[in-house]
Structure 1
Amino acid sequence: MRAAAPLVVVGDALLDRDLVGTAERLAPDAPVPVLDDCQERLRPGGAALAAYLAARAGREVTLVAPLGDDAAGRRLRAMLEPVLTLVPLPLDGPQAEKTRVMADGRPVVRLDRGTGRAAGVTDAARRALAGAPAVLVADYARGAADVLRDELAARAPHTALVWDPHPRGRPPVPGARLVTPTGEEARRFAGPDAADGDELAAVARTAAALVRRWGAVGVAVTLGARGALLCQGDGPLFVPAAARHGGDACGAGDCFAATAAGLLGDGVLPAEAVQGAVAAATRYVAEGGALTAAPGAAPDGAGGAGGGDGDAAAGGDALRLAERVRAAGGTVVAAGGCFDLLHAGHVSLLQQARGIGDCLIVCLNSDASVRRRKGPGRPINPLADRVRVLRALQCVDAVAVFDEDTPERLLAGLRPHIWVKGGDYAVGQLPEAAQLASWGGQAVLLPYLDGRSSTLLATRAADSLGTGGGQDPYAGHGQEGQVPP
């Protein structure tokens, strides 16, 4: 599997602070909530958050941002230096800070301070941009994108440049590969050219107007829990989110933009980059959003377009995901199988499973396990390919591999709330049902699409090559052993 392309993030760094507690009473001297058991959580903000999330997902990241030597600036450096390369720009005032007071998981008030702005360009910043395969401009209207504008304009034709704009910032440089405004920002940027309403047709017309106005290759309008709409001047592409979550969405736009920029740097098409970015942002919110972005709150490999096949084989990424979703009060769903030749029955099952909870983890048989179940000619697709195909599905949040005949040991680690199977079973016949019940989980059955199976697809392929009997492999058959994978 090819290594992920390095990413350079240019923008304004903030220090974000959450004061988190519970509010069950009002103060005696004023009708305001009292925050009990208050805890302070610090994390990178602004462009620093976008860079941090990309680095935590395993990408090599360089952050070019104004950083001061005050207390806030030193705290930011301490959080960022262990995971990415810092190229500081001079700052002409105090580092920007943003404080949210959170009661029972919901923001009550926000406090902003710090007026520092970018005060110039350095040769190190110019060198960081030269030859970068992917660049994200995370503009927070504090000058970083302005002081490097000439360099960014010169790099635009030669790199995967993604521009995440700010309502108070300048427009993106012409030739940006992708610009990522929110729906509200897109209407404001388009001005009189904006279409009325937030229906997809109106969003598409507004996005097309921005492609022309900005001279961008594409505009991806992010629509929160709905997903994103990509316009490249012709027919729009709508990428829906696999599931909706009511969690903390602060930073989801940074996650989206950083993931899209990295994927474009990897060489994928804009449509694929937007699909991956929607999936990453959805997963970020499901896992707890900004509250998981503090250093130490979520391990490496979380919150972005995920790691290599070795992570799946070890199961660590899936185990960490399950732990985070449970800690946030969400529902962990797991499904298992060989998934050798992915077909419509598989996709239907997995999409239904993802709709039940807040994350879907696929427990995948290793190659040796498949051979023991299916015979010496299987699997047709090796493990690395099966992992990659499953991970490409928007409804799949993580993949974990097991080498045994059954996934009991893996399930004991994941401890999902729901174990999904498809086919003609009774729940009592599922060997995993008793195991799930031991920790309060539930095994459930989902409908499957009749007449689909990997074995029958393989038979049909063999027949088409003249090596089989020529009969219709679907005739008289249900799904393979009534087990979707």
Structure 2
Amino acid sequence: MGAGPIVVVGDTLLDVDVEGEAERLCPDAPVPVVASGREHRRPGGAGLAAVLAAQAGAEVVLVTAVGDDEASRCLLGLLSGRVEVVRLPLTGTTATKTRVRARGQTLLRIDTGDGRAGRVVEDDRARRIAALLRGAGAVLVSDYGLGVAEVLGGALREPPAPLVWDPHPKGPVPPPGCALVTPDESEARLLGGRPYVSSDEAARHLVRALRVKAVAVTLGTRGAVLARREGRSVRVPPPVHATGQDACGVGDRFAGAAALALSGGATVEEAVVCGVGEAVRFVGNGGAAAVRLPASPLGNRPRTALEVAEAVRASGGRLIATGGCFDLLHAGHVSLLRRARALGDALVVCVNSDESVRRLKGPGRPMVGEQDRVEVLRALECVDAVTVFEESTPAEVIARLRPCLWVKGGDYAAIDLPETETVRMIGGKTVILPRVSGRSTTNLIAAAGAIMSGG
């Protein structure tokens, strides 16, 4: 597997299955009566593709649009602890697909929600997404026509990792150079503008028209047709006969398995064979209806610094913020962060950018780049969000976040800090926590230098 995570980019829906028994017809209409319905919820679309890839053992980051409605909060609860979610704004309500089922058969589906992805305007989030795409083992675009692929289209045109694109008729055309495009039969015909051709012809036409490396037209439980830029189209049959009835989510399982295989160095042919096998096994194990995910109580915790700040204020809680370079994170840093978090309901860490550190510490610093410093801080349980600032002081970001307490560690007096006046103006208070003795980045750098010089 590639060194980086599988980055899934796309539209996440909330899928709801209402399962019951249908033993009689309604007296006032010739429709079945579904009794004793039990409701099961799961992520759909890109969210399902991400969860299935994570269940296969991959490290997965999902870039998707999430709103503030009940369905979005439910989705975040289902995804929490399984995949990392990088949130884009959502306008409107979350798309929800509700299936009414009896004895394994879908009787009715109701679609609600008009949500679409909004453009990214926050620099921290844009930088985070760009860094994820650069460091990915593979990128899977799971497009359901709700705007995420369109909003991020420019960033997705030339990722260094293999790019797998599962298209939608209402979404953008996959960019040239994709490692693999994975439409189903109807999508392939619509995408190529040839509604009456065979799947083999559609695959061969698309690989030329889109200028991509390969196209695999998925045929559900019948396998796939693979066409490469150089070479003939071939049929990839399923390794076993699928015994299940529910094909919902089979395309997501195929695309995710293929992306995971490509990230591990597989050829496109090997990746498609793997995708077909996993998709057929997925249907045989019950399909999407068999995916049961208990929601995490922490799932609706916002991820960005501004979202955390707004949520904490809305609930009447105390927002704590701290800041610094956090170069070569050590036990003293961790102690400070844990103690700061204990003072309130959420902790936001404000990190100096690389350029800001150089202005403060000199040309030899930082030892660790800002993206790595952010990643390590985000991994700490006591940290609720991290934001990067470019200025020499955190005064501007403090003014945006408006924390109740601004916490610093060390031998400062509050009056010595350049940001103290900003903290006072927003109605907050500066708190100085004592430093852990003998723990400092300067000491670590000095010790490392002594070892390197043989001292």
TM-score of the aligned structures, taking structure 2 as reference length: 0.61
| Counterpart position of 1:213 | 209
- Give, in whole Å, the separation in 2 of the partners of 1:67 and 1:267: 32
- 8 Å contact from structure 1 (residues 4, 59) kept in 2: no
Distance in 2, matches of 1:142 and 1:3, equals 29
Look up the match of 1:224.
220
- C-alpha separation between the residues in 1 aligned to 2:174 and 2:292? 29
Question: 1:64 is aligned with what amino acid?
Answer: V
From the superposition, tell whether residues 116 and 172 of structure 1 become closer, same or farther in structure 2 (CA, over 3 Å).
Answer: same
> What is the aligned partner in structure 1 of residue 134 from structure 2?
130
Aligned to 2:206, the other structure's residue is in SS state helix
Q: Is residue 5–residue 266 contact of structure 1 (8 Å, CA) maintained in 2?
A: no
Deviation string for 1:247-288 (max 9, x for gaps)?
211000000001101110111000110111111000000000
Structure 2's unaligned 5+ residue stretches are 296-455
Q: Bigger shift: 278-287 or 179-188?
A: 179-188
- Tell me how far 1:29 sits from its aligned partner: 2.8
Give unmatched runs, 5+ long, in structure 1. 197-201, 298-485
Separation in 2, partners of 1:174, 1:216: 5
Letter in structure 2 aligned against 1:235: R
Q: 1:212 corresponds to which letter in structure 2?
A: R
Aligned to 1:311: none
- Please give the alpha-carbon distance, in whole angstroms, between the structure 2 residues aligned to 1:61 and 1:291: 22
Superposed CA offset, 1:214-258 (max 9, x none) = 111000010112101111032122210121334211000000001
**Counterpart for residue 102 of structure 2:** 103
What is residue 116 of structure 1 aligned with on the other side?
115
Q: Which deviates more, 205-214 or 38-47?
A: 205-214
Query: Is the contact between residue 63 and residue 86 of structure 1 (CA under 8 Å) also seen in structure 2?
Result: yes
Residue equivalent to 1:289: 287
Measure the CA separation in 2 of the matches of 1:148 and 1:108.
Answer: 36
Residue 5 of structure 1 contacts residue 262 of structure 1 at CA under 8 Å; is this kept in 2?
Answer: no
Task: Considering fraction of residues, name the structure with more strand.
Answer: 2
1:141 aligns with 145
231, 256, 259: which one aligns with 2:254: 256
Q: Does 1:167 align with 2:185?
A: no
Counterpart CA distance in 2 for 1:62 and 1:104 is: 35
C-alpha displacement at 1:213, in angstroms? 1.0
Q: What amino acid is aligned across from residue 283 of structure 1 in structure 2?
A: R
Partner residue of 1:331?
none
Cα distance in 2 for residues equivalent to 1:10 and 1:21: 34
2-structure distance, mates of 1:284, 1:260:
14
- The one-letter code sitting in structure 2 at the alignment partner of 1:165 is P
C-alpha deviation, 1:292, in angstroms: 1.4
Residue 479 of structure 1: aligned partner: none
Q: Secondary structure at the match of 2:173?
A: coil
Q: Which amino acid aligns with 1:170?
A: P
Q: 1:144-155 counterparts in 2 under 5 A? A: 144-155=148-159
Question: After the TM superposition, which parts of structure 1 deviate over 4 Å for at least 4 consecutive aligned residues?
Answer: 2-5
Correspondences of 1:168-317 after superposition (within 5 Å): 168-192=170-194, 196=197, 202-233=198-229, 234-241=231-238, 242-295=240-293
Cα distance, 1:146 vs structure 2: 0.4
Deviation at 1:185? 1.3
Query: For the residues of structure 2 that align with 1:243 and 1:113, how far apart are their CA atoms?
Result: 34
- Residue by residue, what CA displacement relative to the aligned partner does 1:391-424 show, whole Å, maximum 9, x if unpaired? xxxxxxxxxxxxxxxxxxxxxxxxxxxxxxxxxx
Amino acid at match of 1:150: G
Aligned 8 A contact 2:3 2:136 in 1 = no
Q: Is the 8 A contact 2:134 2:161 kept in 1?
A: no
Report if the CA contact (8 A) 2:11-2:144 is conserved. Answer: yes
Secondary structure of the residue aligned to 2:116 is coil
Percent identity between matched residues is 49
Structure 1 residue 31, shift from structure 2 partner? 2.3
**Residue in structure 2 matched with residue 82 of structure 1 by the alignment:** 81
1:446 alignment partner in structure 2: none
Mapped to 1, the partners of 2:234 and 2:3 lie a distance apart of 25
- Partner Cα separation in structure 2 for residue 293 and residue 11 of structure 1: 20
Equivalent in the alignment of 2:55: 56
Name the CA distance, whole Å, in 2 between partners of 1:81 and 1:120. 24
Tell whether the 8 Å contact from 2:221 to 2:279 is kept in structure 1 after alignment: no
Partner SS for 1:151: coil
Give the C-alpha shift of residue 296 in structure 1. 5.2
- Quote the offset at 1:154 in angstroms: 2.7
Q: 1:102-152, CA deviations, whole angstroms, 9 ceiling, x for partnerless residues? A: 122111111111111110123232232222120000000000000100000
Shift of 1:69: 1.4
Q: Would you say the 8 A contact 1:102–1:108 is kept in 2?
A: yes
Provide the aligned C-alpha RMSD in A: 1.7
Contact 1:225/1:245 (8 A) holds in 2: no
Structure 2 vs 1, CA of residues 19 and 259 (structure 1 numbering), >3 Å: closer, same or farther? same
Match of 2:304 in 1: none
Task: For 1:34 and 1:215, locate their aligned partners in 2 and report how far apart those are by CA, in whole Å.
Answer: 50
Give distance in 2, aligned partners of 1:226 and 1:109.
Answer: 25
- What's the CA shift for 1:19? 0.5
- Over 3 Å counting, the alpha-carbon distance change for 1:142 and 1:267 in structure 2 is same
Which secondary structure state, in structure 1, belongs to the residue aligned with residue 32 of structure 2? coil
Structure 1 match to 2:26: 27
| Distance verdict in 2 for CA 1:236–1:147, change over 3 Å | same
Is the contact between residue 5 and residue 59 of structure 1 (CA under 8 Å) also seen in structure 2? no
SS in 2 for 1:88: strand
- Between the aligned partners of 1:290 and 1:206, the Cα distance in structure 2 is 27
Partner Cα distance (1:8, 1:246) in 2: 29
State the Cα distance separating 1:178 from its structure 2 match.
0.2
Counterpart residue type for residue 264 of structure 2: D
User: How far has the Cα of 1:203 moved from its partner?
Assistant: 2.3
Distance 1:92 1:184 in 2: 29
Contact 1:18 1:101 in 2 (8 A): yes
Q: How many aligned positions are there? A: 288
Listed one character per residue, the Cα deviations across residues 342-396 of structure 1 (whole Å, up to 9, x for unaligned) are xxxxxxxxxxxxxxxxxxxxxxxxxxxxxxxxxxxxxxxxxxxxxxxxxxxxxxx
Does the residue aligned with 2:25 lie in a helix, a strand or coil? coil
